[in-house]
């Protein structure tokens, strides 16, 4: 039998040392190249993302209160101030920035360096917001307020009045929540829209204006003497009733020194069970005040006509000033039950304890007018 030639066994998976080293080196170099390329590409991406955007006209960017640094970055990208908010966020973290950003309206230019943007936000270098300014005189009614603001082209009159009749415009205001549910109220917010000079952001809505005025009443009540709520409790009165009396004083009195005295007369008449018989309540019932009231006007059928109904009207008849609110809270004690306006142009009053004295004062007043 012929013996077949024998060859040494050879494993195809085995590679000689030098060749294997070359392959390993090639793999390592390939991986390194990929890593270098990837790192370079990422570095280029980061570098490019951190470059300023193309220069352009200034853009106004508003940053609301409570906005986080990450949200600011998103706003900046949306407005074309930075290229990439994702990279900018990490840039802020790396440089320990963003915690001191301030809210407000900023004027920023595309093309600004990132550090310049950060510095501006940290400094709160905001632009002046365009505002509207208006003044509500003391003693104005809701309808008069609406007419004035509409005449100044700040509101839609009908929308304002409609909102003033609902509960949707209260916001965080507190005093207004003391208004009772009473279908006899002529204007729901009467007496609660504080008379003051206001400055609001341009474009403020009717609801914004109402909320601001309601909040102003809260602020004003906070400066009353400490313990004023206890005084109300002692009088067994609500805030709504206090504002009602204050509004009567506001419409009846011009001389500050007489406010507390007139408030005292109102309290005296209520305590004695007398009708208040205040002309200003009749004028309010008419909506459009008259220069002079006639006997027939005093017979008008209205829950606000204090010539026909006992006690206080259902609510305020105007927006009282702080002087009138204070007078209603701390009336001057006296025995007076009547007063009449002097017709000598002084706008002051003559006070009386009895009806007979009151008639004499009316005669004196008429003589002064002659």
pLDDT digits (tens, 9 = 90+) for 105-121: 999 999 999 999 999 99
Domain boundaries, the chain: 59-123, 131-222, 229-334, 335-370
Whether the domain at 59-123 and the domain at 335-370 fall into the same CATH topology? no
Q: Confirm whether pTM is higher than 0.75.
A: no
| DSSP-derived 3-state class of residue 190 | coil
Predicted confidence band of residue 4 (pLDDT cuts 50, 70, 90) = very low
Higher-confidence position of 228 and 3: 228
Higher-confidence position of 17 and 346: 346
Q: Is the pLDDT of residue 42 over 80?
A: no
pLDDT of amino acid 22: 73
- Give residues with Cβ within 8 angstroms of 319, minimum separation 6: 136, 138, 139, 140, 141, 145, 190, 191, 192, 193, 194, 195, 247, 250
Cα–Cα distance between 306 and 279 in angstroms, integer?
A: 8
pLDDT tens column, 48-68: 777 888 888 999 999 999 999
Predicted confidence band of residue 276 (pLDDT cuts 50, 70, 90) = very high
CA end-to-end span of the chain: 164
- Give residues with Cβ within 8 angstroms of 352, minimum separation 6: 336, 337, 338, 339, 340, 358, 360, 361
Q: Is the pLDDT of residue 10 over 70?
A: no
Q: Is the pLDDT of residue 101 over 90?
A: yes
| Cα-based torsion angle of the residue sequence 198, 188, 241, 299 in order, rounded to the nearest 10 degrees | 120
For residues 170-191, average pLDDT: 93
pLDDT of amino acid 165: 92
pLDDT of amino acid 1: 47
- Give residues with Cβ within 8 angstroms of 20, minimum separation 6: none
CATH topology for 59-123 is: Dna Ligase; domain 1 (3.30.1490)
CATH class of 335-370: alpha beta
Q: Is the pLDDT of residue 302 over 90?
A: yes
Sign of CA dihedral 80, 86, 89, 90: negative
Q: How large a percentage of the chain has pLDDT more than 90?
A: 70
């Amino acid at each position: 039998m012929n013996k077949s030639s024998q060859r040494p066994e050879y494993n195809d998976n085995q590679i000689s040392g030098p060749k294997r080293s070359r392959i390993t080196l090639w793999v390592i170099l390939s991986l390194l190249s990929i890593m270098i390329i990837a790192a370079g590409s990422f570095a280029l991406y980061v570098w490019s993302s951190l470059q300023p955007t193309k220069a352009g006209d200034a853009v106004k960017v508003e940053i609301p209160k409570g906005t986080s640094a990450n949200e600011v970055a998103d706003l900046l990208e949306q407005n074309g101030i930075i290229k990439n908010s994702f990279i900018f966020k990490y840039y802020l973290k790396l440089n320990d920035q963003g915690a001191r950003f301030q809210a407000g309206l900023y004027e920023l230019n595309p093309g600004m360096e990132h550090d310049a943007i950060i510095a501006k936000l940290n400094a709160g270098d905001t632009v002046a917001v365009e505002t509207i300014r208006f003044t509500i005189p003391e003693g104005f009614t809701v309808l008069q307020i609406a007419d004035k603001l509409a005449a100044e082209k700040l509101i839609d009159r009908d929308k304002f009045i409609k909102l003033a009749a609902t509960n949707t415009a209260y916001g965080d205001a507190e005093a207004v929540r003391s208004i009772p549910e009473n279908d006899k109220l002529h204007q729901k917010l009467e007496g609660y829209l504080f008379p003051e000079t206001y400055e609001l952001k341009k474009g403020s809505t009717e609801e914004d204006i109402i909320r601001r005025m309601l909040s102003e009443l809260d602020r004003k009540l906070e400066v009353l003497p400490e313990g004023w709520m206890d005084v109300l409790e002692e009088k067994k009165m609500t805030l709504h009733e206090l504002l009602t009396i204050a509004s009567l004083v506001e419409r009846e009195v011009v001389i500050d020194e007489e406010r507390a005295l007139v408030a005292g007369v109102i309290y005296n008449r209520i305590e004695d069970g007398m009708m208040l018989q205040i002309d200003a309540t009749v004028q309010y019932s008419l909506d459009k005040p008259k220069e002079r009231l006639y006997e027939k006007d005093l017979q008008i059928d209205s829950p606000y006509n204090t010539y026909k109904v006992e006690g206080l009207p259902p609510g305020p008849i105007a927006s009282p000033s702080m002087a009138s609110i204070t007078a209603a809270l701390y009336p001057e004690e006296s025995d007076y039950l009547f007063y009449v306006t002097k017709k000598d142009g002084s706008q002051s009053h003559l006070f009386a304890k009895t009806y007979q004295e009151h008639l004499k004062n009316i005669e004196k007043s008429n003589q002064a007018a002659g």
